[in-house]
Amino acid sequence: MSQQNSELTEHRHHTRTALGLPAELKIDATTHAVWIQDISLKGVLITDPALSLMRIEPQSTKHLVILSDPERVTLLELDIRIVRINAGLIGATWGTIDLDNLTALRALLNAHFARAVSNETYQVDRRGANEHATPQSDGAVGFSRCPKINNPKPKISVQGRFPHV
């Protein structure tokens, strides 16, 4: 059982970020439309929806162009090494990356992270507009629904075991 647990352990040094962008994988003289499922500073997981790339040799080097969606503008270009191919998924890494593409990759990861944080903040703000904090019997603060929303700011009531200021 310990051998199975060690196989399931995450061995990556760089955090993967779900991306969801179109890309083009260039093999010899042909270009294949693929989808980027996730990416990190050191590797990428490519989805091959047509399952047309399953005969690529692992350890082969290919050229990947990641595009914006829906404009299809080139965001970055990488020479990748195919690490694994399995059920429509292609795992790849790169040994080297030039400064321009590294800068573009970091900007892409930062923009994606900022968008994810912005979406979480928006959801919290929406909850705050519809709920207000109330103390629980154990002294903790909980949220309950406001009957009317006249003020977009959440109402906080400090009662019970909370000190009055």
Averaged over 143-154, what is the pLDDT? 44
CA distance 67 to 21: 7
Residue 164 lies in a domain: no
Q: Give the end of a domain, one of 96, 122, 144.
A: 96
Q: Give the end of a domain, one of 96, 125, 143.
A: 96
Task: State the DSSP H helix or E strand holding residue 7, giving kind and residue range, or none if neither.
Answer: helix 2-8
Give residue 73's pLDDT. 92
Give the chain's domain count.
2
Residue 86 lies in a domain: yes
Question: Does 6 share its domain with 54?
Answer: yes
Report the percent of the chain where pLDDT is more than 90. Answer: 28
Long-range contacts of 128-136 (CB under 8 A, 24+ apart): 128/153, 128/154, 129/153, 129/154, 132/156, 132/157, 133/157, 135/159, 135/160, 135/161, 135/162
Averaged over 53-66, what is the pLDDT? 85
Question: Does 9 share its domain with 74?
Answer: yes
Q: Is the peptide bond before 152 cis (omega within 30 degrees of 0)?
A: no
Question: Does 146 share its domain with 119?
Answer: yes
pLDDT in tens, 87-124: 888 999 998 999 999 999 898 888 877 776 666 655 55
Q: Which range has the worst mean pLDDT, 3-17, 45-59, 65-79?
A: 3-17
Residue 33, CA atoms < 13 Å, CB-side half-sphere: 5
Question: Does 10 share its domain with 80?
Answer: yes
Averaged over 135-145, what is the pLDDT? 44
Give residue 113's pLDDT. 76
Residue 163 lies in a domain: no
Averaged over 131-159, what is the pLDDT? 44
CB 56 within 8 A of CB 30: no
Q: Give the end of a domain, one of 49, 68, 96.
A: 96
Could you tell me the residue range of the domain that residue 114 belongs to?
Answer: 98-158
What's 40's domain CATH number?
A: 2.40.10.220
Residue 16 lies in a domain: yes
Question: Does 20 share its domain with 40?
Answer: yes
Averaged over 45-73, what is the pLDDT? 85
Residue owning tokens 């690529």: 56
Which is nearest to 92 in space by CA: 110, 79, 74?
A: 79
Give residue 57's pLDDT. 81
Q: For 156, which DSSP code?
A: B
Question: Does 121 share its domain with 66?
Answer: no
Give residue 121's pLDDT. 56
The answer on pLDDT for 33 being more than 70 is: yes
pTM check: above 0.75? no
CA distance 60 to 109: 26
The answer on pLDDT for 19 being more than 80 is: yes
